[in-house]
Amino acid sequence: MTVFHPRRAARVLLVDASDRVLLFEGIDPARPGHRYWFTPGGGLAPEESPAAGAARELAEETGLRLTPAELGGSVRTETIEFPFDGVWYRQEQEFFVVRVPAWQVDTAGFDEIERASVTGHRWWSAAELADTAERCYPADLAVLLTQVLAAAPASEASC
């Protein structure tokens, strides 16, 4: 029987003027061959709101500093289950969208776990996500990005 540790998280779809989303490449320390791409974001402090956590994680992981209000509302809420570093999590997470003309990613705010498990980053288009054989989270990220882009074209975007 798998015992899941409950976790709350916030994730950010950081989208540039070319409609590409920023993803980090990571490995699971307990399964070094398990490589995957994922959006900026992470776990929330006990009393932290999802928007506050998303803003904090965005600053720590990319250097982009925004207020929670600048993130607007979440565009997706889901519950996922996954292992990381030998622990199984059941994570409730919300996704936010941030549009930027361009952004030079600054990972100086990474914590020890991120420094050990994140191996790189790149900007991905929806077409690249749909065509890749690489593992990306969430698994339907190409669809989600396409929906987000259709709902808020670059000319209507903030930031």
| Closest C-alpha among 135, 128, 53, 147 to residue 91 | 53
Q: Is the pLDDT of residue 145 over 50?
A: yes
- At 156 the pLDDT is 44
Percent of the chain topping pLDDT 90: 91
For residue 74, CA distances in Å to 6, 42, 70, 135 come to 20, 15, 11, 24
Which pLDDT score is estimated for 40?
A: 98
DSSP bridge pairs for 7: 91
pTM of the model: 0.93
Q: Which residue in 21, 16, 17 sits closest to 40, CA to CA?
A: 21
Q: Supply 135's token pair.
A: 């593992």
pLDDT at 152 over 80: no
The per-residue pLDDT for range 86-142, each reduced to its tens digit, is: 999 999 999 999 999 999 999 999 999 999 999 999 999 999 999 999 999 999 999
- The pLDDT score that the predictor gives to residue 2 is 84
For the chain, the average pLDDT equals: 94
pLDDT score at 157? 44
pLDDT reading at 52 higher than 60: yes
Q: Which helix (H) or strand (E) holds 60?
A: helix 50-62
Cβ atoms of residues 98 and 13 within 8 Å: yes
Distance (Å, rounded) from C-alpha 17 to C-alpha 155?
9
Distance CA 12, CA 59 (A): 11
Return the CATH number of 5-151, one of 1.20.1260.10, 3.80.30.20, 3.90.79.10, 3.20.20.100.
3.90.79.10
Sorting pLDDT into bands at 50, 70 and 90, what band is 153? low
Q: Which has the minimum average pLDDT: 53-67, 74-88, 142-156?
A: 142-156
